[in-house]
Structure 1
Amino acid sequence: MIEDLNLFASQLVTLWVVLEPFSHLSLFLSATSHLDPPQRHKVAGLALVFAFLILVVFTLLGRLLLQAMGISILAFQISGGMILFLFAMTLIFVETPHRPVRVDPERGLATLAVYPLATPILAGPGAILAMVLFSDNNRGAPLSHHLVTMGVLALMMTVLFVVFLLGDTIARVIGQSGASLLRRVMGILLAALSVNLVLNAFQKWLGLPEL
């Protein structure tokens, strides 16, 4: 029980940092600025369902795909850690880490939900890397560990859905300064996690003592 709780907490923190709701809120509002509230809520639900399914597929098949391509999980972990670190630097030092998303107002809601919201905004490289690593860490583990991972992902999708539904209100409350502060704090945490990914990969590869 304690082990499952520790696993839940560690995976939740990792996914929270990678899928940081308030950073993604600005992207969501930008992409759906031309929609009325009911349409925006529908797009939010569709985008999160699609993103959840994409991440589940990578959780189940990500390691098989890497093996088919001849890529070791350690190489994937190191490269992913480096990419996450660069992304973390943009969160910390760049005032606007993402360009506003421009969409055609005539496009269908489902199309908008798939691109750019579900991917690459929500189910992006960082989230995919995290789920593949969770899956690799769960190899040979009890079924409860796999259920915890799916539960953490579902919880994060639910949190994002609530944040998106309350998007206009949250944007007014935290303001530009609050959003900037949250983005930088999340960037610092993400940088630490990315460095830890790389160090853990080298520790396993070289047989060094655990950090």
Structure 2
Amino acid sequence: MLDWTNPAAAALNEIRSAPIVRFSVLALSSIFFLVDPFAAIPSFLAITQSVDPVRRKRMARKAAITCFIVLTSFALAGQLIFRMFGITLPAFEIAGGLILLLIGLDMLEAKRSPTQEAHGDTEEGAAKEDAGIVPLGIPMLAGPGAISSVMVLVGQAPSMWRWEMGAVLGSIGITCFVSYLVLAGAGRVKTVLGETGIRILVRIMGLLLVALAMQFFVNGLTDLGVISKP
């Protein structure tokens, strides 16, 4: 009898089931959905409407670098912060899940959460000479949701030098690089996707973010022993 087993498919399934792959996908998706550069396009264009293309790209680069520095700083200092304030990982997982849930519900309505963009941030940014750091870099990109997600992910690493930390830092780097590309070409991205396309994309990210929030809740309750580990 012929063996119809596909070695390539079997190898691919084995790779997908590897802990490093599953954790890396979780880290990249949660950080990218929370930074969500596509939802920041309208605000970015409003803030930079009176500047030339070269300066617009410079502000996009500064926003992405600010986001990278902020998220990386909290990733490296995450375990120290936990120990300093006596915060347990399960407690932070539940708190982070709540923040993610609120942001995800706002994204399902195709709008920015107040934790990412407060009322008046766009107007304040437009009045600034250079809004690349505030409010574009923080809180529009590196908001409380992204920071809490990074700290929860880092808390799952047994030590600072484990591969989980590398996966988190790599996810931050990829997210910030893509954010720069999206914001630097915000005009073209908006033309290609259109308002409707951006709203649909934000809603899809919001749905996935709500699912991630529920997973954080489940992880926190499991670590506390409230529910049994599956």
* TM-score over 0.5 for the pair: yes
Cα distance in 2 for residues equivalent to 1:65 and 1:95: 31
Cα distance in 1 for residues equivalent to 2:112 and 2:126: 24
Percent identical: 25
Q: By how many angstroms is 1:4 displaced?
A: 2.9
- Do residues 59 (structure 1) and 75 (structure 2) align? yes
Cα distance in 2 for residues equivalent to 1:76 and 1:154: 23
The CA deviation string for residues 28-60 of structure 1, in whole angstroms up to 9 with x for no partner, is 222222221111100111111111111111011
- Structure with higher RCO (Cα < 8 A, 6+ apart): 1
- Cα distance, 1:114–1:196 mapped onto 2, change above 3 Å: same
Question: Can you give the 5+ residue segments of structure 2 that lack an aligned partner in the other structure?
Answer: 1-14
More helix by share: 1
Q: By how many angstroms is 1:96 displaced?
A: 6.3
CA contact 1:19–1:122 (8 Å) conserved in 2: yes
Cα distance in 2 for residues equivalent to 1:57 and 1:38: 29
AA matched with 2:44 = F
Quick one: which of 32, 38, 42 aligns to 1:26?
42
Partner of 1:79: 95
Cα distance in 1 for residues equivalent to 2:202 and 2:174: 21
Question: Can you give the 5+ residue segments of structure 1 that lack an aligned partner in the other structure?
Answer: none
The CA deviation string for residues 81-121 of structure 1, in whole angstroms up to 9 with x for no partner, is 11211111111136565556113656332xx1121011111
CA contact 2:61–2:184 (8 Å) conserved in 1: no
Cα distance in 1 for residues equivalent to 2:73 and 2:161: 20
Partner of 2:142: 123
Quick one: which of 23, 30, 37 aligns to 2:53?
37
Cα distance in 2 for residues equivalent to 1:95 and 1:169: 21
TM-score (norm 2): 0.81
Partner of 2:195: 176
Partner of 1:147: 166
CA contact 1:63–1:73 (8 Å) conserved in 2: no
Q: When the two structures are aligned, how many residues end up with a matched partner? A: 209
Q: By how many angstroms is 1:139 displaced?
A: 2.0
AA matched with 1:12 = L
- Cα distance, 1:208–1:164 mapped onto 2, change above 3 Å: same
Larger radius of gyration: 2
Cα distance in 2 for residues equivalent to 1:7 and 1:96: 27
Output the aligned Cα RMSD. 2.2
